[in-house]
Amino acid sequence: MWNLCLCGILEDSDVLAFPGGGNDPDPWGELDFEGRSRIQEFVRDGGGFIGICLGAVYASNTCLFWGTKVGVDELYLGLFPGVAHCGQDAVAPKGNWPLMTDLIVSDRARSIADGLPKRIRAVTYTNGPYFQPNEDSNVTIVSTFAKTGNPAMVSFEYGNGRVFLSGPHPEIEVDSDRDGSSGLDELSDEGSEWPLLLAMMKWMTAR
């Protein structure tokens, strides 16, 4: 159970990374209200949070899956002030995954990730979210999907902590074994997204 795993881990950590994973693990069911409160407190007190795909969905206020609301709002982490939208036919039609998608690095992200190329390529899945921040929120759009212009990666502060969320999977090195996996080696990301992740980590821990 995630609740048991969180005991003692957050106390000795600077950043919590929450990966993707379809419906397994099930953070809503396994973490429940107690785990949700512990993570919120960890970030609010100055910790960092990285959410990718499912982890980004869980960090939001709510989610629309191909236009249909899913889950119980009270069980979402609520770190991201807005809605995670899963499903973009123009990016990844249902049943057509994994695939590569082009991202446009936002000018607003230059203060965080200066020196990155304007266009990068990353792995995405049909259920990877894009983000719709609330109008009054102070959210930085790190990158957008080239095909739709929807926010693909966002960063923001939560209390004394900092958060980075990504719909695509920049942690996967599909044409390299540096990530410890040979999966998806038939694809090519035409370079690495790890410099972006390193920039995000430096920004997140610069306290």
Could you list the beta-strand ranges (E) of 92-179. Answer: 99-105, 119-124, 129-133, 140-145, 151-158, 161-166
Q: Tell me, what's the pLDDT at 2? A: 46
For residue 27, the model assigns a pLDDT of: 77
Q: Does domain 15-205 have CATH number 3.40.50.880?
A: yes
Report, as ranges of residue numbers, the positions in the chain whose pLDDT lies below 70.
Answer: 1-8, 22-25, 110, 113, 183, 207
Predicted pLDDT of residue 177:
74
In terms of DSSP H, where are the helices of 45-79? 54-58
Alpha-helical regions (H) of the chain: 2-6, 27-44, 54-58, 194-205
Note the pLDDT of residue 86.
92
What was the pLDDT predicted at 154?
A: 96
Question: Residue 146, SS3?
Answer: coil
Domain map (residue ranges) of the chain = 15-205
pTM of the model: 0.91
Contact between 146 and 155 (Cβ < 8 Å)? no
Q: What is the pLDDT of residue 126?
A: 73
For residue 69 the two structure tokens come to: 């609301």
**Half-sphere exposure of residue 50, counting CA atoms within 13 Å on the CB side?**
21
pLDDT at residue 144, as a whole number: 95
* DSSP three-state, residue 144: strand
